Amino acid sequence: METIHTNCTHTNLRFVPGLHVIIVTNPQKGSGGSLFAWEAYMACKLSGLPAILATFDESRHYPDIGPDLRRLPVPDGETAGKSGIENLACLLPIIREAVAGNKLLILDTKSNFTVRDPMFEVLEYCGVHQATSIAALISCRQDLPGFYDGAMACRDFKSANILFDRGMVRAWGRPVHCATLGLMEIPRIDLWTPRVLSPQALFLLQNAPQAVPQHADLFPDFVGSSKNARVLRPSSEIKLHVSSATCAIRASILAPICRTLSR
């Protein structure tokens, strides 16, 4: 395990050919997992790398990323038995697009999922377990049980034959013990501890253009101002946060599956 630092420079990167997937593992609403998915997308965009953000939650909102956001028509547990083959195959055309276009596929999971969720049927049917690489994003809440929810959910994916080769824990301003990270049984786990976002910065993000503006579960409900945080304008704070996310995610999640092109 290593702590990610945020001093980085832009490089001319391209993904190694294949299917590369990153998956948010947090099942709880309000953990900031969907924000993590959006941060991963922004890290790709600011690194000059193409990406698709596909979500298993049709009601969740994201700051507008245009056609790169895909909503998957996955049934809930009550309608799983009625689902047709088209629902099981909903991810297949996106996977084909990702491989053909050399794009990273970011999968944001449903809230409150369990190992029996139909989402896992889709992942298995579409062959996500056969991807060239699969990374996990785990958002660490300030309360320890919340962290275990995201970390232990990795085992749900393992039971569906989805094995993570690397992962990143985002810990909001609190230390995470290395032994705790080892519980996830992922070969490489990196830690990113960003500065805490102020309520003003969160408000600005929440009121950015969104696909479904009436819902506000993208953003963590535990992030607030820090006594030791520097006072910044909300817009500057967001830029600093996105820059930190880009550097951390590029080093941990993107670099292992990229090659640098000569200019």
Contact assessment for residue 26 and residue 169, using Cβ atoms and an 8 Å cutoff: no
**Collapsing DSSP states into helix, strand and coil, what is residue 172?**
coil
More confident residue, 254 or 228: 254
Say which residues have a Cβ less than 8 Å from residue 261's Cβ, sequence separation at least 6: 12, 13, 14
More confident residue, 161 or 77: 161
In eight-state DSSP terms, residue 212 is S
Cα 107 → chain centroid: 7
Give the whole-angstrom CA distance, residue 145 versus residue 141.
8
Does pLDDT of 19 surpass 50?
A: yes
* Cut 0.75: pTM above it: yes
* Crossing angle (nearest 10°) for helices 234-249 and 33-46: 80
pLDDT at 108: 95
Torsion, CA 4, CA 108, CA 114, CA 167, rounded to 10: -20
Mean residue pLDDT of the chain comes to 80
pLDDT digits (tens, 9 = 90+) for 82-96: 456 778 899 999 999
Q: What percent of the chain has pLDDT over 70?
A: 73
Q: What is the mean pLDDT of residues 214-226?
A: 52
**Domains along the chain?**
2-77+87-260 (3.40.50.300)
Under the banding of pLDDT at 50, 70 and 90, the label for residue 143 is low
pLDDT at 32: 82
